[in-house]
Amino acid sequence: MVQSALRVQGLIKRYGALYAVDDVSFELGSGDILALLGASGCGKTTTLRLIAGLETPDDGEIWLGERRVSGGGDWIQPENRRVGMVFQDYALFPHLNVSANIAFGLRQYHGDKQARVAEMLRVVGLEGMEKRMPHQLSGGQQQRVALARALAPQPSILLLDEPFSNLDAALRAQVRAEVRAILREANVTSIFVTHDQEEALSLADKVAMMREGRILQFGTPHEIYSRPANRDVAQFVGEANFVPAVARGMTAQSALGDIALLQEAHGAVSLLIRPEAIHIAPHGTPARVVWSEFYGHDQRLGVILEDGTSLVIRIDSHTVYVQDAVIGLHVPYAVWAYPD
Q: What is the average per-residue pLDDT within 137-153?
A: 93
On whether the CB atoms of residues 210 and 60 are closer than 8 A, the answer is no
- Do the strands 241-254 and 257-273 form a parallel or antiparallel pair, or are they unpaired? antiparallel
The pLDDT value recorded for residue 118 is 96
Beta-carbon contacts of residue 203 (< 8 Å; ≥ 6 apart) = 33, 35, 176, 179, 180, 192
175-188 b/e (C-beta count within 10 Å ≥ 16 → b): bbebbbebbeebeb
166 φ, ψ (degrees, to nearest 5): -90, 5
Burial of 96 (0-12, 13-18, 19+ CB in 10 A): middle
Q: Kindly report, residue by residue over 44-87, the tens digit of the pLDDT.
A: 999 999 999 999 999 999 999 999 999 999 999 999 999 999 98
The pLDDT value recorded for residue 219 is 98
- Where residue 2 falls among pLDDT bands split at 50, 70, 90? low
The CA–CA distances, whole Å, from 120 to 54, 59, 163 equal: 26, 37, 18
pLDDT(121) > 60: yes
* Distance separating alpha carbons of residues 289 and 302, to the nearest angstrom: 6
Q: Which domains does the chain have, with CATH numbers?
A: 4-236 (3.40.50.300), 239-339 (2.40.50.140)
Q: What is the average per-residue pLDDT within 108-119?
A: 90
* Distance separating alpha carbons of residues 229 and 217, to the nearest angstrom: 6
* Distance separating alpha carbons of residues 84 and 315, to the nearest angstrom: 42
The CA–CA distances, whole Å, from 22 to 18, 39, 56, 151 equal: 9, 16, 14, 30
* Distance separating alpha carbons of residues 265 and 305, to the nearest angstrom: 24
Mean pLDDT of the chain: 95
The pLDDT value recorded for residue 166 is 82
* Distance separating alpha carbons of residues 73 and 71, to the nearest angstrom: 5
* Distance separating alpha carbons of residues 323 and 164, to the nearest angstrom: 37
- Where residue 1 falls among pLDDT bands split at 50, 70, 90? very low
Strand partners of residue 269:
245, 339
296 φ, ψ (degrees, to nearest 5): 90, -75
Q: Kindly report, residue by residue over 212-271, the tens digit of the pLDDT.
A: 999 999 999 999 999 999 999 999 999 999 999 999 999 999 999 999 999 999 999 999
The pLDDT value recorded for residue 169 is 79
Within its chain, how far is the Cα of 197 from the centroid? 5
Reported residue count of the chain is: 340
